[in-house]
Amino acid sequence: MHRLATLGIVLACTSHLALAENRHDTCKPAAPDEKLASAFDPGTSLGELAAWVSGFSCKNVVFSDDTAQRARKLTVIVPAALTPRQAEQLFADAIEAAGLVIVRRANTMLIKPGVEPSPARVGQERDIDAAPDAPAADEFDAETKQLIHEVDTDLRMKDATHYIMSGSLLGNLIASSTWVISQATFTPALRKGQPAGFTLTGIKPRSLAARLGLHNGDVLRTLNGLPIDTDDEQITAATQTIIDDTITLAIERAGKPLTIAIDVVSLH
């Protein structure tokens, strides 16, 4: 007799959504500069963490009952208030600590068991500052796998700062801007106390960011001449305005300016 796995589905806005007769309030994500005070009891469950991240991000969180059993008791200590970006990163770190992974699909986070380490890696030390390996292919849905395959075939390097990609790949990347943004961690950078782009970290080997020649520690200043200095939504907006035959990324590396150019061409 088959037992249907119960899906733990935490819909966005768990803490903000109020139901009234003939009326549904919409979820409003926390402002990028809002400070979120968070306190967790010892033995916090995956469901409680999911409801927390969904409440301020307005993102759906989905996980199976079996997955929930792998993260029944988590200890999360938060000494200070967090911005929404920091809080979502804390959630991702807690998920990783439980041996789980997050698969991002548009406005949904699907939580799944992680890939078990190979015997060769058990007991080996690892540089904690090094970027993690690229996720295993089976961590992605079919659509994302197809996009990754297209990146492999339709993104080519001419030299260290000059790349070419197909127009179809560019269109698919723009349509999948959430996945594009997930290829690195964006931390606000300041210049003379003012927002001045984002410092890139968490760039994984063979990821899109790495394939475009971006390094951990690079500071992204502009995209096609447009300032990138507030949040993911601005990056998405800038990405969606790309219509030129050449895309330029103005970055700062080790204190020196550098421009990466991507020519959009027909490859097929």
- How far is 153 from 167, CA to CA, in rounded Å? 13
Structure-derived torsion over alpha carbons of residues 197, 250, 151, 208, reported in degrees to the nearest 10? -40
Determine the pLDDT at residue 125. Answer: 39
pLDDT at 121 over 80: no
Nearest-5° angle of CA 162, CA 140, CA 126? Answer: 75
CATH code, 7-122: 3.55.50.30
- 3-class secondary structure, 193: coil
pTM greater than the 0.75 cutoff: no
Q: Per-residue confidence at 103, pLDDT binned at 50, 70, 90?
A: confident
Strand-pair category, 7-10 with 19-20: unpaired
- How far is 70 from 89, CA to CA, in rounded Å? 20
Superfamily of domain 142-265 in CATH is PDZ domain (2.30.42.10)
What average pLDDT does the segment 4-8 reach? 32
Q: Are 221 and 250 in contact (CB under 8 A)?
A: yes
- Kindly provide the b/e burial profile for residues 103-125, where b requires at least 16 CB atoms within 10 angstroms of the residue's own CB: bbbeeebbbbbbeeeeeeeeeee
pLDDT at 8 over 50: no
CA-nearest of 216, 259, 222 to 242 is 222
Determine the pLDDT at residue 234. Answer: 52
For residue 160 the two structure tokens come to 């260290």
Q: Per-residue confidence at 43, pLDDT binned at 50, 70, 90?
A: confident
Which one is predicted more confidently, 162 or 98? Answer: 162
pLDDT in tens, 167-212: 888 888 877 877 887 888 888 888 877 888 888 898 888 889 999 9
- How far is 49 from 40, CA to CA, in rounded Å? 9
Listed in sequence order, the DSSP H helices in 155-222 are: 167-175, 177-181, 208-211
Determine the pLDDT at residue 235. Answer: 55
- How far is 228 from 250, CA to CA, in rounded Å? 10
Determine the pLDDT at residue 237. Answer: 52
What average pLDDT does the segment 162-170 reach? 90
Determine what percent of the chain is predicted with pLDDT higher than 70. 74
What average pLDDT does the segment 223-236 reach? 66
- 3-class secondary structure, 216: coil
What average pLDDT does the segment 208-231 reach? 84
**Sequence spans of domains, the chain:** 7-122, 142-265
Burial of 162: CB neighbours in 10 Å, binned 0-12, 13-18, 19+? middle
7-122 shares its CATH topology with 142-265: no
